[in-house]
Structure 1
Amino acid sequence: MSPAITHIQKQLWSLLFPENGGGGGGATIKSRKIATSIAITLFGLYFAYEKISKPPKQLRHIPQGGFFKYLYNFMTMRPYDEIVEKITGPLGAKTDHGLYIVFDVYGWTVHVTRPEAAKKLLLKADLFPKIDMNVKRRNTLFGKFAMGPNIIFLIGKHWKDQRSVLNPAFRRSMPVHLFGDLTQKLFFELDKQLDTSVEFHEIMVRWTLDAIGIAGFNFDFNSVAEPTNEWVTRYERIMSANTDPLFMLFPSFETKWLFLFPKRRQAHQELDIFLEKMEEIISKKRKVLANDTTIAEKKTSEKDLLTLMLEASQEGNGKLTDEELQSNLCAFFLAGHDTTANALSYAVYNLATNPKVQQKAREEANRVLGDKPVDVLPTMDQLQEMPYIYRVIKETMRRNVTATGVIAREAQEDTELAGVYIPKGTRVTVDIMEIHRNNKVWKDPEIFNPERFAPGGEAEKVAKMGMSFLPFSNGQRQCIGMNFSLAEQRVFLPMFLRKYEVSLPEDSIHKDKPVVTGVGILTPVDFKINLKKLY
């Protein structure tokens, strides 16, 4: 038996049976067994504490965040910008290289906060491939929903094979007319609420859910008109459960001890129903495509993503299974739903708090779409004629990040980042917020200034430093929902600006800055706006 366990055992005997002098002959065999079991348990806990609460020895040359301090703030879902301001920001600012290490959902992980290091990490995919998250999380709620055989989480040859089939489908999914139709539908609902402050983020979540459901696999959640219907409610429960920090940090609670968490079991049941519905839709779509030759003749812009994936599968080198199709549709939700709803909410916040920017953007929309008091649905060509609104979108995504980082990479050999030794097996991620708000990269990063992205502006200059603008990551593993999300934003904002003038209520909690919550994806809290109808 280990000397450490024997020592703990003797101490326990002294506490439990003081009359026996710390384990003398009077102690019973039963009591000795109890003390031994407790000693082994305590030693195991101590060993786990020593192993988990301190970073690996080979990484202790990098500034580290306190284990319990960071963990507490993460578990209590403290606003991420406050965590950056008070904990991780000072760590990254300590050195010129800007690296720091904290214990997060990947374990002890090195965080990158400088553009040059981010560039190396994201472009050298062979040296820093994505970690395989499926091993520990396959049977978690998040794992079942998002971490199957899809283009986000696959690695190695399977990912490369799937990318060659799916990338064309994702790039071609650009239903601009659909976004315009849904925006008109949203206006009908907004007009009912002009006498009161509008909970705008909630409405954006509903609007983007309808957009991704119809564009993804021709399923109308009808969330804008019926926000409490069965499928909307089910989806919201699943997504809410997916962001529970307890199960994100400790997946074994879910994979081994699920019976202890009845609410979590219920969320799994809801997910099973949702996935069964997707299986049904995929099966029907296959049959329709096999029997209806007119579908192939439709414009690409009129086809949902599932149709495009099936067509790409037939045209490409490999046929996608139903499991792969379903998994990639779930990945599409993950990449393009909440993130876009949040980005649009932040864009409207920035317009509301910067009236001159709002007016300039409105004038551009009216110049391109006309100033008649009617809704006008922009075409793809017209979107290209509104560069200032596009700058508003980009500056919003710089200043108000929706995703705080990228899925961790793992060093395949001993290497370096920004001159710092990174041993083989180290997990590394990019902290997007800290790059976007780094005053060593951007001038006055807290100020909202769309002109940063004008031709010859600051954005072009800082791009020479490396990867300084990463709302969708970069490199081979760039977000698959990027073009789709940008098209949604570029259609919605000019239509919205022509229809309404927007401001914050006097009692808004967001007067000074957006108040946010979330783990990984940042969501504005209680975001209400006032609308003045212009026609």
Structure 2
Amino acid sequence: MSSYQLSGYTGLTLNQLQVLYSKYLVPTLKDKAKSTTIASAVALLLGYLAFKKIQEPPHEIRHLPHISYFTMLRSILQGEPTSSLSKRLVIPIISCPENNGLYARINGLGWTVHVASPEANKKMLMRTDIFPKSDPLPGTDGTLASRFLRGPNVLLLNGASWKTQRKLMNPAFHQSIPVNMFGGLVQRLFSVMENETGPINVTNLMMRWTLDVIGQAGFDFDFHATDEPENEWVQVYNSISKGMGKPLWFFFPVLDRKFLWLFPERRKSHKSLDRFLEMLDGVIVKKRKALKENKRNPSMKDNEKDLLTLMLEGSQTGGAALTDRELQSNLCIFFFAGHDTTANALSFIIYFFAKYPKIQQRAREEAHKILGDAPQDVIPTVEETKDMTYINMVIKETLRIKGPVTAIPARRAAEDTELEGVFIPKGTLLTSDIYNMHHNPKIWNDPETFDPERFKAGGEADMLASSGMPWMPFGGGSRLCIGMNFSLAEQRVMISMLLRKYTWRLPEDSIHKDELRTNNIGIMSAKILDIIFEKIY
């Protein structure tokens, strides 16, 4: 294939491909990864992808506008923020008058139709018979991500198996809103913040805090990440989390399966996952034994029990029992869906409050109205979190403009169908493009402006919702995120207590002064986000 022909497929010449490899891919390799052996292996992989896989979309969906694979790869390896990628490549496509909010681009599963239309998303997410979930990691057995995420869990199952698990878990998630536990961990956070001097990296701090929350709320395990950030279990989990977020392994999973012996750091991540899974197995066995021996705390309210306990109790009272493997797989999914997502949402909320002090003060006044303005920590009740109207508006607008989840797990069309008048052939992969739908000027007025008023009663969001799913940071339809109410309550408790305790602002030299700068792969996260906090009491 000539340089000209390759450019036609990828948007790059061979010389540009060489620059991409040497300038952006090689520096991502660690330790001895720049050795001749590894460089040759990666070069061979790039060649394979260029000549065999990186082509135009299959003819069945070639009628859709598309973004080439190497254009996406180059953007990711350059670290282009999600917002820049959206403005440069996606919004010009979906904002055209003739476009119905659908376009194609390649990802880890292959060529996928991205759906950024409220009406089309509603049809896709409501018709699970036509658009069932697809295996998100086909052909990746043995990779770190596959070992952590794949399995018989409520996120990935379809049909009767999914319905059985969802039916069992729904009561647990509706009962478990442990606001006292949330509040106690916020107080632990405050004690750590008081010992800090200068700006605080809230991205890191929220990651640590939400790890403690998901550990205690999920299965009554205290990581002590907030107050002991270097302890053994925190390092174990961080090794897993960081390992799954590296672009190299996302684009080249075969390295994880066939060439792991070349990457010492990657082997450490796999060993960390071994330890983590063994720990979960031990917790499950211990919980089952305690319930069998009736070792329960009768004074503990259901909403303060951990999710694992509630699921096991539910199976004892007539619900379908989950196997240890199913419980382990679902606990992993709780971490994946509930840790990084909520941590980054909280970081983004804190950022927008720092950028817009008038909005921060209005939210503080609401917290004082509900919880009082006495100079002492007050933990909200479940009922009080429901009264936080303006704080909830800020949370929802943050999840619109900078929602950590930018797309949902892929669906696969089970038959020939159509979306918004566009033919979708059987077998096509599709995903809801949440971020770009939230930023589409054909849907939202002035979408790049942070405006919580959109979410007041009868406001823009309410009017848009009558015709589809324009706001869906938690997905939608029958497979709406089971932990949505849990996460929103967690955010309200943290933010209301933080507003009463501190005022905060961005440092003058913040890299985020004009716009929040984020990554562009996986869960959206801010680059180092330093905030200056000042105590009120």
TM-score, normalising length: structure 2: 0.89
What is aligned with 1:175?
A: 178
Flag the 1:104–1:316 CA change in 2: closer, same or farther, 3 A: farther
Which deviates more, 310-319 or 126-135?
A: 310-319
- SS where residue 516 of structure 1 aligns? coil
Distance 1:107 1:84, change over 3 A: same
Report deviation, 1:393.
0.6
Q: Secondary structure at the match of 1:264?
A: helix
SS in 1 for 2:67: coil
Q: CA deviation at 1:50?
A: 5.0
Q: 2:139 aligns with which of 124, 129, 136?
A: 136
After TM superposition, list the pairs within 5 Å mapping 1:3-152 onto structure 2. Answer: 49=51, 51-94=53-96, 95-133=98-136, 135-152=138-155
- Name whichever of 137-146 and 489-498 sits farther off: 137-146
Q: Structure 1 residue 271: deviation in Å?
A: 0.4
- Over aligned residues, Cα RMSD in angstroms? 1.8
Consecutive unaligned residues of structure 1, counting only runs of 5 or more, are 1-41
1:253 Cα deviation (Å)? 2.4
Could you tell me how far apart the structure 1 residues matched to 2:269 and 2:498 are?
A: 35
Give a deviation string over 1:400-448, Cα, whole Å, max 9, x none: 1101100110001111111101100000111111111111111111111
Q: Secondary structure at the match of 2:211?
A: helix
Check 1:488–1:50 CA distance in 2 against 1; reply closer, same or farther (3 A cut). same
Q: Distance in 1 between matches of 2:211 and 2:48?
A: 46
Moved more, 273-282 or 94-103: 94-103
Question: C-alpha displacement at 1:76, in angstroms?
Answer: 4.1
The letter of the residue matching 2:335 is F
Other structure's SS at 2:105 match = strand
List aligned pairs for 1:348-497, cutoff 5 A.
348-497=350-499
Take 1:250 and 1:107, find their aligned partners in 2: how far apart are those partners? 13
- Aligned residue in 2 for 1:4: none
Provide the secondary structure at the position in 2 that maps to 1:514. Answer: coil
Alpha-carbon distance, 1:58 to partner: 1.2
CA contact (8 A) 1:210 1:221 kept: yes
Q: Are 2:507 and 1:505 equivalent residues in the alignment?
A: yes
- Residue in 1 that maps onto 2:231: 229
Are the counterparts in 2 of residues 504 and 529 from structure 1 also a CA contact under 8 Å? yes
User: SS of 2:531's equivalent?
Assistant: strand
Instruction: Evaluate the alpha carbon distance shift between residue 220 and residue 300 of structure 1 in structure 2; reply closer, same or farther with a 3 A threshold.
Output: same
Deviations 1:280-339 (A, max 9, x none): 111111111111253466310221111011112223442211111111111100111011
Select which of 150, 165, 170 maps to 2:168.
165
CA separation of 1:512 and 1:52: change in aligned 2, threshold 3 A: same
Which of these two proteins has the greater Rg computed from alpha carbons? 1
Select 1:515's aligned residue among 514, 517, 526.
517
Deviation at 1:266, TM superposition (A): 1.8
Does the 8 Å CA contact 1:412/1:425 hold for their aligned counterparts? yes
On the 8 A contact 1:243/1:518 being kept in 2, the answer is no
For 1:214, the equivalent position in structure 2 comes to: 216
Distance 1:514 1:316 in 2: 49
Relative to structure 1, the CA distance from residue 171 to residue 136 in structure 2 (aligned partners, 3 Å threshold; closer, same or farther) is farther
Amino acid at match of 2:309: T
Q: Give the equivalent residue in structure 2 for 1:246.
A: 248
Cα distance in 2 for partners of 1:294, 1:408 equals 40
Asked if structure 2 preserves the Cα contact closer than 8 Å seen for 1:71 and 1:103, the reply is no
Query: Contact conserved, 1:198 with 1:529, CA < 8 A, in 2?
Result: yes
In structure 2, distance between residues paired with 1:486 and 1:283: 30
After TM superposition, the score normalised by the length of structure 1 is 0.89
Cα deviation digits, residues 240-274 of structure 1 (max 9, x gap): 00112222233222223323333222211110011
Judge conservation of contact 2:290–2:296 (CA < 8 Å) in 1.
Answer: no
Tell me if structure 2 keeps the 8 A contact 1:148–1:324: yes
Measured after TM superposition, the shift of residue 96 of structure 1 is 2.9
AA in 2 matched with 1:171: H
Alpha-carbon shift at residue 74 of structure 1 (Å): 2.8
Deviates more, 1:72-81 or 1:458-467: 72-81
Structure 1 residue 140, shift from structure 2 partner:
1.3
Tell me the SS of whatever aligns to 1:334: helix
Alignment partner, residue 256 of structure 1:
258
Decide whether aligned partners of structure 1 residues 128 and 105 sit closer, same or farther in structure 2, where only a CA change above 3 A counts: same
Secondary structure (helix, strand or coil) at the match of 1:517 reads: coil
Contact persistence 2:76–2:520 (CA under 8 A): no
* Equivalent residue, structure 2, for 1:529: 531
3-state SS of 1:530 partner: strand
Structure 2 vs 1, CA of residues 529 and 59 (structure 1 numbering), >3 Å: closer, same or farther? Answer: same
Task: State the AA in 2 paired with 1:268.
Answer: H
Say whether the 8 Å CA contact 2:392–2:492 is kept in structure 1.
Answer: yes
Cα distance in 2, alignment partners of residues 79 and 47 from structure 1: 25
Q: What is the percent sequence identity of the aligned residues?
A: 49
Q: Partners of 2:49 and 2:192 in 1: how far apart? A: 58
Q: 2:28 maps to which residue?
A: none
2:19 aligned residue = none
Query: Where does residue 330 of structure 2 map in the other structure?
Result: 328
Show structure 2 runs of 5+ residues with no match: 1-43
Tell me if structure 2 keeps the 8 A contact 1:70–1:87.
no
- Check the 8 A contact 1:71/1:104 in 2, yes or no: no
